[in-house]
A and B are shown apart, each in its own frame.
Chain A
Amino acid sequence: MSKRSVHNKIKKRYSRSILALSGTALTLSSMSYADAPPTQSTVSIKSTNYQEDDLLSNEVLFGELSRYDIDVHQFQLVTPVTRNSSLQVNGSYDSLSGASPWFTSANSEGEPIVNLSGASGIYDTRRELSIGGSYYLENETVNLSIGRSAENDYNAAFINFGFTHQLNNRLTTIGVNTSISNDEIFPTDAEKFNRIKSASKRSVSTALSISHIINRFSAYQTAISVTNQKGFLSDPYKLRDVRPNSKSQYAWTNSFRIFFEKMDAALHSNYRLYHDDFGIGSHTVDFSWHQNLSTYIPFDLRFVPSIRYYTQSSANFFTNIDDFSSDPLAPQSSDYRLAAFGAISAGINFIADLNNLRITAGGERDQAKSKYSAYNVSRPSTALVRFSRISIGFDFSY
């Protein structure tokens, strides 16, 4: 018998018994011990430009037409420390310019019109740094992180604690996550505009989650979260903004993931039901499709189109025309975020893996409009935002 040099040509169609065997073989070989600590360090950076559309000139009575333009730079380092612990450092730097609604009034036809904050506009930066550690046990993970955020007129310090436990042969994971944040606001030009000099608020938030593996292609997660805030919750920059000094928020989130073997793609769907004691209720639905393309091209590329729909009802004390004659202590706000509206957004992301470098690029467009609302809109806000963002990110593992 002579030696034969040959190519290893593998037929694409495997027999049924081979598929059955490869299923269990693949599972065994690629078995990741769920929630295992990272085995290598990863540094991630991501830069985003966020831009809000200018308001239309007939919507603005006074001030600049342009809204916020924000550059966000994010940084993350995840590194293993011991065999079962890891360290995580997160940072972000945002620089913001633009204007924000100051007060709303009515035009000659009695329709609401926005007055944007001073001709000088707003320039601010926000720096956030947090550091945390995770410890991995056989069926549990524990993590703790602390952080600070600073803006020209706002400081916050927060702590976050998380715990997960896997049970039921690791098919079910229960998680608890609690964060406490102490925030302080000290408005600029407080004297000049007769704003509050400084104020504080505290937030406590807890989420309980249960995720369950349904079958080998799909998984479901349900979570409730409760957030309580106490302190100064109003907007000191608005001419007239009085809100209650406590707020309770409840959210119920449902997530479903399913993998389509033949298409080599995953579908993510999420739904959130929300209610708070300002009287706001909301629905959020989003879908994203994670399509792998590596069968067609010689490197790992994934593209992820996504759509999102959001709608909320208005707060009890929302008004679209500030009423300066009413009781100055009675809750009242013309903040567009307290109005009833709907928002539709669509985005796309590309993720390319080049050995130890990953490049992510993407964008999103979001439009909020009164007519998109699923709730009754008795007092439409004219200050609703339309924004676009584009991002590029790099992850480097070593």
Chain B
Amino acid sequence: MKEKFLNIKFKGMGSPCEITLMGSPNEEETLTALQHEVSRLEQKYSRFLKNSVLNAINASAGDPRGFTVDEETLAIFQHAAACYDQSDGLFDITAGPLNKIWDYRKAIVPDKNTIEETLQNVGFKRIAIKNRKVFLPSGMELDFGGIVKEYAADRLATIASKNSNLMGLINLGGDFAVIGSKHTKYKPWKVGISCPKRPSVAIAEIALHHGGLASSGDYLRCFELHGKRYSHLLNPVTGYPSTGWQSVSIAAPSCLLAGSIATIAMLKPLQESSDFLRDAGLAFVAVDSDGKMLTNLE
């Protein structure tokens, strides 16, 4: 097999994306299919596109007839339900309204009453799902952040892997998925883990043979006030920003799994999160607010 690298960069799902492919005679077709898939998912689940399924569901809030969703969206809900259950309510796709009251540019902490009021409209368990219908209570809204981009990376890898000659790597704004069969004998992809404060500096490197890698972190979206760091990741139980890690990166059998666990680890209190990560059985790199690194990499 002649090895030929093909690398494209594009903007998708609000992030810089990169696809690296090698080893196929019809990789151009595959690339077209992959970009098509990115735009399909973007149009379906973007918060910024009026006609997206996500916005249609949000628009249905309070409608007693519910909103009928397709199988793919249903599967996303189920994964969101598992994330909610396994994080004791910390990973919550209904946490969106909290983002509106925490203004990072103005660096203002909202008052208690506002937070209490907003929390009335948060809580995944208040959504009813029956058959194919989703019943979203009035005032609530959904955000598939932490799920859809990771899922998209896996989808692309799955689609590309159907062409059994292909190997490669998908990178959707830091969410990675490996293309190729589990048994493809090829050297692993090395993915650098950025320093949360200086994204261009790698603090560790994870060798990915298969599956995916995802990170969750403050990166530059946080503010400090009176010596306290306010992360953009909000705890949907308290209404306040999480105070744990600056960033968590996980390698897992799929990018979606990696991303979900990274998000949960970000939201858990530091000590509990450390235990959670150690017990997870997956390769991880976590950086705390002082820049100290915790990892199970050797």
A touches B in complex, CB < 8 A: yes
Question: With A1-B293, A8-B297, A15-B280 given, is the CB distance from A356 to B165 under 8 Å?
Answer: yes
Shortest Cβ gap from B298 to chain A (Å)? 6
Q: Residues of A contacting B279 with CB < 8 Å?
A: 15
Q: Are A25 and B79 in contact (CB-based, < 8 A)?
A: yes
Q: Are B280 and A5 in contact (CB-based, < 8 A)?
A: no
CA distance in complex: A96, B205 (Å): 63
* B contact residues, total (Cβ < 8 Å): 59
B interface footprint on A19-30 (CB within 8 Å = 1, 0 otherwise):
011111111111
Shortest Cβ gap from B151 to chain A (Å)? 6
CA distance in complex: A355, B203 (Å): 35
B interface footprint on A153-185 (CB within 8 Å = 1, 0 otherwise):
000000000000000011000000000000000
B interface footprint on A328-359 (CB within 8 Å = 1, 0 otherwise):
00000000000000000000000000011000
User: With an 8 A cutoff between CB atoms, is A17 at the interface?
Assistant: yes
From 62 to 116 in chain A, residues with beta carbon under 8 angstroms from any chain B beta carbon are none
Q: Residues of A contacting B58 with CB < 8 Å?
A: none
Closest to A300 in B: B183
Closest to B33 in A: A39
User: With an 8 A cutoff between CB atoms, is A13 at the interface?
Assistant: yes
Interface locus among B5-13, B68-76, B113-121: B68-76
Q: Are A8 and B281 in contact (CB-based, < 8 A)?
A: no
Shortest Cβ gap from B144 to chain A (Å)? 11
CA distance in complex: A169, B81 (Å): 18
CA distance in complex: A354, B19 (Å): 25
CA distance in complex: A24, B281 (Å): 18
CA distance in complex: A7, B295 (Å): 12
CA distance in complex: A10, B151 (Å): 21
Q: Residues of B contacting A294 with CB < 8 Å?
A: 182-183
User: With an 8 A cutoff between CB atoms, is A192 at the interface?
Assistant: no
Q: Are B162 and A39 in contact (CB-based, < 8 A)?
A: yes
Shortest Cβ gap from B9 to chain A (Å)? 24
Closest to B297 in A: A6
CA distance in complex: A6, B293 (Å): 14
Q: Residues of B contacting A21 with CB < 8 Å?
A: 79, 82-83, 86, 257, 260-261
Q: Are A17 and B86 in contact (CB-based, < 8 A)?
A: yes
Q: Residues of A contacting B83 with CB < 8 Å?
A: 21
Closest to A31 in B: B75
User: With an 8 A cutoff between CB atoms, is B52 at the interface?
Assistant: no
Chain A-chain B contacts (Cβ-Cβ < 8 Å), number: 133
Shortest Cβ gap from A159 to chain B (Å)? 32
CA distance in complex: A18, B158 (Å): 21
Closest to A34 in B: B71
User: With an 8 A cutoff between CB atoms, is B132 at the interface?
Assistant: yes
User: With an 8 A cutoff between CB atoms, is A12 at the interface?
Assistant: yes
Q: Are B298 and A40 in contact (CB-based, < 8 A)?
A: no
* A contact residues, total (Cβ < 8 Å): 40
Shortest Cβ gap from A297 to chain B (Å)? 9
CA distance in complex: A23, B283 (Å): 18
User: With an 8 A cutoff between CB atoms, is A11 at the interface?
Assistant: yes
Closest to B278 in A: A15
Partner of B253, one of A9, A26, A28: A26
Question: With A10-B283, A14-B281 given, is the CB distance from A28 to B79 under 8 Å?
Answer: yes
Q: Are B257 and A169 in contact (CB-based, < 8 A)?
A: no
User: With an 8 A cutoff between CB atoms, is B51 at the interface?
Assistant: no
From 142 to 182 in chain B, residues with beta carbon under 8 angstroms from any chain A beta carbon are 151, 154-155, 158, 162-165, 181-182
Q: Are A20 and B86 in contact (CB-based, < 8 A)?
A: yes
Closest to B209 in A: A8
Shortest Cβ gap from A111 to chain B (Å)? 59
User: With an 8 A cutoff between CB atoms, is B222 at the interface?
Assistant: no
CA distance in complex: A11, B283 (Å): 8
Q: Are B76 and A28 in contact (CB-based, < 8 A)?
A: yes
Closest to B165 in A: A356
**Which of A13, A23, A29, A33 is the most central at the interface, judged by chain B CB atoms within 10 Å of its CB?**
A29
Q: Are B281 and A1 in contact (CB-based, < 8 A)?
A: no
User: With an 8 A cutoff between CB atoms, is A4 at the interface?
Assistant: yes
Q: Residues of A contacting B195 with CB < 8 Å?
A: 1
Q: Are B85 and A20 in contact (CB-based, < 8 A)?
A: yes
User: With an 8 A cutoff between CB atoms, is B256 at the interface?
Assistant: yes
User: With an 8 A cutoff between CB atoms, is B32 at the interface?
Assistant: no
Shortest Cβ gap from B250 to chain A (Å)? 10
User: With an 8 A cutoff between CB atoms, is A255 at the interface?
Assistant: no
Closest to A29 in B: B154
Q: Are A25 and B257 in contact (CB-based, < 8 A)?
A: yes
Q: Residues of B contacting A27 with CB < 8 Å?
A: 75, 78-79
> Which residues of A are interface residues toward B (Cβ below 8 A)?
1, 3-15, 17-18, 20-31, 33, 39-40, 169-170, 294, 298-300, 355-356, 397
11 sample A-B contacts, Cβ–Cβ < 8 Å, listed by A number: A4-B205, A9-B283, A17-B276, A21-B257, A24-B75, A24-B79, A26-B257, A29-B155, A31-B72, A33-B71, A299-B183
Give the top 6 A-B pairs by smallest Cβ distance, nearest first: A6-B297, A11-B281, A356-B164, A29-B154, A24-B79, A17-B86
Besides A17-B280, A24-B75, 15 other CB < 8 A contacts? Answer: A4-B205, A6-B298, A8-B206, A8-B283, A9-B296, A9-B297, A18-B261, A23-B82, A25-B154, A26-B253, A27-B78, A29-B151, A30-B158, A33-B71, A39-B162
